[in-house]
Amino acid sequence: MENHFNDQSTECSASSDSNDCQRVDQYGFERAEDFNYESYEDFMSKHLAVVTRRSKKWSKLLQGTVNVEKNIKVKRYVRKGVPCEHRTQIWMAASGAQDQLDRNPGYYHSLLKAEHDPKIEEVIRADMHRTFPDNIQFRASSQPCLQKALFNVLLAYGHHNKDVGYCQGMNFIAGYLLIITKDEEKSFWLMDALLGKILPDYYTPTMLGLQMDQEVLGELVRMKVPAVWQVMNRHNVMWTLVVSRWFICLYVDILPVETVLRIWDCLFYEGSKILFRVALTLIRHHQNLISQAQSLPEICERFKQITHGEYVEDCHTFMQKIFMEPGVLSTATITKLRKMCRNHITSA
């Protein structure tokens, strides 16, 4: 049984209207009416040159192998961005998803063939039309339509990990994985790596991991961006109000597509610490704007503002910033804060 599908190009054919071509990006997302084409063209003129250089270096590094070593050189390469043509391979190898796929041949298809829980089916179906309505690949008129593949991946995962089942947010993650991999089975195992290993307890009924990491971010802001921590404290704003979607959607539908993919390159290779680096960079860079807020609604609005604009659109510069602006952020510090916050949540 085939689980991959033809790579439906989102680029326009020669017979397509050039305006239609400009309105859709390479991943199938429609651009906003106020999209700045001039700024985008300026960015792309530099971006394509960088991507071409990176692609040549990656091809030389991999030299036909499917394995990816964990070393300083590869880590540096990942932080500078994985080219599209190598992204699936790197994500699969770095996360351990490829190993799981190799050890469990046929498992994904067996989940699809098995008897399914109608409650899980119902909640997944309810989210189908909400998943990337601005992406032409997820429309019923598209050939192939990614909605069917999305439903399959979510249904299989819901029965594979019954402690999680399905919750909102997972549809966006699975959707991005399908856009990149064009393969249901690989998307399934990447989901398993993310939800089972990299981000445990984020999507369980209690969402303990998600709650914990939001509190950890609050502690990191208190240490590294005290002005913002003070304004949050003064107006009694809970971190979940302003950053829950950042974490549960892994910045999908929050930051520009290219920037999210660069973050995910690091997420699959280095783990969840990258999520804190992104959040701290956004908050620290815009601390004056946030600190001037005079009320809870103003604070919420400013947290939305800081995820838009040139600062996050230039993925190369932004990714450089996330490894500089927050300063030292050790795994030991994250582990210690997670333990403290977990104890605080479970004892409340």
pLDDT tens, residue order, the chain (348 aa): 456 665 444 433 333 344 555 789 999 999 888 877 787 787 777 878 888 888 999 999 888 777 788 899 999 999 999 999 999 999 999 999 999 999 999 999 999 999 999 999 999 999 998 999 999 999 888 887 899 999 999 999 999 999 999 998 999 999 999 999 999 999 999 999 999 999 989 999 999 999 999 999 999 999 999 999 999 999 999 999 999 999 999 999 999 999 999 999 999 999 999 999 999 999 999 999 999 999 999 999 999 999 999 899 999 999 999 999 999 999 999 999 999 999 999 997
Residue 291 and residue 278 in contact, taking contact as beta carbons nearer than 8 Å? no
AA identity, residue 100: Q
3-state SS class at 30: strand
What is the per-residue pLDDT for 4? Answer: 63
Pick the CATH number of 67-198 from 2.70.150.10, 1.10.287.110, 1.10.8.270, 3.40.190.10: 1.10.8.270
Residue 306 φ/ψ, nearest 5 degrees: -70, -10
Cα 193 from Cα 189, distance rounded (Å): 6
Cα 287 from Cα 221, distance rounded (Å): 10
Record the tokens describing residue 21, joined without a space: 């071509």
Q: Which residues of 4-26 are buried (b: 16+ CB within 10 A; e: fewer)?
A: ebeeeebeeeeeeeeeeeebbbe
Question: What own/partner pairs with CB < 8 Å and gap ≥ 24 does 292-301 have?
Answer: 293/231, 293/235, 295/235, 296/235, 296/236, 296/237, 296/241, 299/231, 299/232, 299/235, 299/237, 299/242, 300/237, 300/241, 300/242
Residue 326 φ/ψ, nearest 5 degrees: -75, -10
- Domain parsing of the chain, residue ranges: 67-198, 208-346
What is the per-residue pLDDT for 35? Answer: 79
The class (CATH top level) of 208-346 is mainly alpha
DSSP element (H, E) containing 229: helix 226-234
Cα–Cα separations (whole angstroms), residue 161 to 78, 117, 129, 193: 29, 13, 24, 12
Record the tokens describing residue 222, joined without a space: 């208190």
Residue 326 and residue 284 in contact, taking contact as beta carbons nearer than 8 Å? yes
Please report how the helices 170-181 and 84-95 are oriented relative to each other, as an axis angle in degrees rounded to 10. Answer: 120
What is the per-residue pLDDT for 12? Answer: 36
3-state SS class at 52: helix
